[in-house]
Amino acid sequence: MYDFTRRSFVISAAAAGAAFGLKGPIEFFSSAAHAQGSNPIGAPQALVDQGFAKFKVGSIEVTQVYDGHWEKAHDEKFIRNATLDETKAALKKANLTDAFVPIPFTITVVRIGGRTIMFDSSTGGQLAPTAGRLVAKNLAAAGIQPSDISAIVVTHYHADHIWGLMAKETNAQLYPNAEIIVPEAEHKHWSAPELVEKVPEGARGNVRRIQSTISTWKNVKPAAAGTEVTAGVRSIATHGHTPGHTSYVVSSGSDTLIVGGDVTNIQSLNLANPGWHLVFDGNPTMAEEGRRKLYDQAVADKSIITGYHWGLPGAGTLQKDGNGYALVPVAV
């Protein structure tokens, strides 16, 4: 059963900007466009109901935990180089609703070498109204306790990836005993005191929040790109979405899993159309270059790769499909 209520939900321009680093206002809404009991993200309902998907990549045990989704209202400026009609057509082609853009949040947790490592941390229930399920119930439903997690590896500092590290009202650490591994370039960018004044008004909330939490926490370890950030996990610079956005390769023997993060947004838009420049990408040209490079490699290597906004399961192999890529989901 669902543990959330469907209701109208509009947040202020400032809060939206804080969440996603955007310059302009975004309206969040939850519509009754889809019936209770269905899900708009195109995922198998049984997986959404249980709240997680488990699969193995060789000896790597992977659990993907579903945090919920955001029903992003359409906005002419959402994709810089595609029209609203093209956006809606791409959603329809993937058998998704075109009433809004359904953006799921799925967190990847791996177990290798006897350790449990989580990539990113969810919304913490502090963003879209149907998100927050990781903390509320789905992590536990997947058999994982917060105290089991020895390291949290962060792809970038957008709110939907890091606010789950901190309590809503107090900013208290939710994983005080885990090592929090962050991309060095990303950490440096967001921790710079002068950034507050440099970003638009609406984006200052997230900057201030980062600087009063992650920038000061003792268990945060900035790690350079192209290094082994913790046993079995190597970082790959996929900068562009944010200045220090980073993906990771998890290895156990010859088995590898790529944790892509936000190299793309939802696959029906941004994987099918890797040349589309979503407003979430701070440097869209660099983001596109990194996207094509990582995905061409994943196709060539037949790697299993995850995407934070790819739904449930949010992982699979990639195939070339016209000018873009198609995800062949893992069996769960």
Please, which residue, 68 or 232, has the CB nearer to Zn ion?
68
Select 112 or 308, whichever has its Cβ closest to Zn ion: 308
Q: Give whichever of 67 and 262 is closer to Zn ion, judged by the CB atom.
A: 262
Question: Total residues contacting Zn ion (rule CB under 5 A)?
Answer: 2
Least Å from the CB of residue 238 to Zn ion: 13
CB count within 10 Å of CB 219 equals: 14
Site string for Zn ion, 104-143 (x = CB under 5 A): ----------------------------------------
Question: Can residue 186 be called a binding residue for Zn ion (CB under 5 A)?
Answer: no
261 vs 316, beta carbon nearer Zn ion: 261
Smallest gap from residue 155 Cβ to Zn ion (A): 8
Per CB under 5 A, contacts with Zn ion among 261-300 are 262
- 8 A C-beta contact, residue 283 and residue 178: no
What amino acid is encoded at 249 in this protein?
V
CB of 168 to Zn ion, least distance (A): 19
Per the CB < 8 A criterion, the answer to whether 211 and 196 are in contact is yes
Site for Zn ion in 236-265 (CB under 5 A): 262
- Among positions 47-76, residues that touch Zn ion (CB under 5 A) are none
Q: Report, in Å, the least distance between residue 327 CB and Zn ion.
A: 17
Instruction: For residue 247, list its beta bridge partners.
Output: 236
Sequence-distant (6+) residues with CB within 8 A of 68 are 4, 104, 105, 123, 128, 130, 131, 132, 133
Residue with tokens 């302009």: 24
Counting every residue written for the chain, the total comes to 332
Q: Which of 67, 71, 120, 160 binds Zn ion (CB under 5 A)?
A: 160
Nearer to Zn ion, 72 or 187 (CB): 72
Separation CA 109–CA 14 (nearest Å): 32
CB of 183 to Zn ion, least distance (A): 14
Reduced to 3 states, what is the DSSP secondary structure of residue 166? Answer: strand
Are 126 and 168 a contacting pair, CB within 8 Å? yes
Report the SS3 class of residue 55.
strand
Which residues contact Zn ion (rule: CB under 5 A)?
Answer: 160, 262
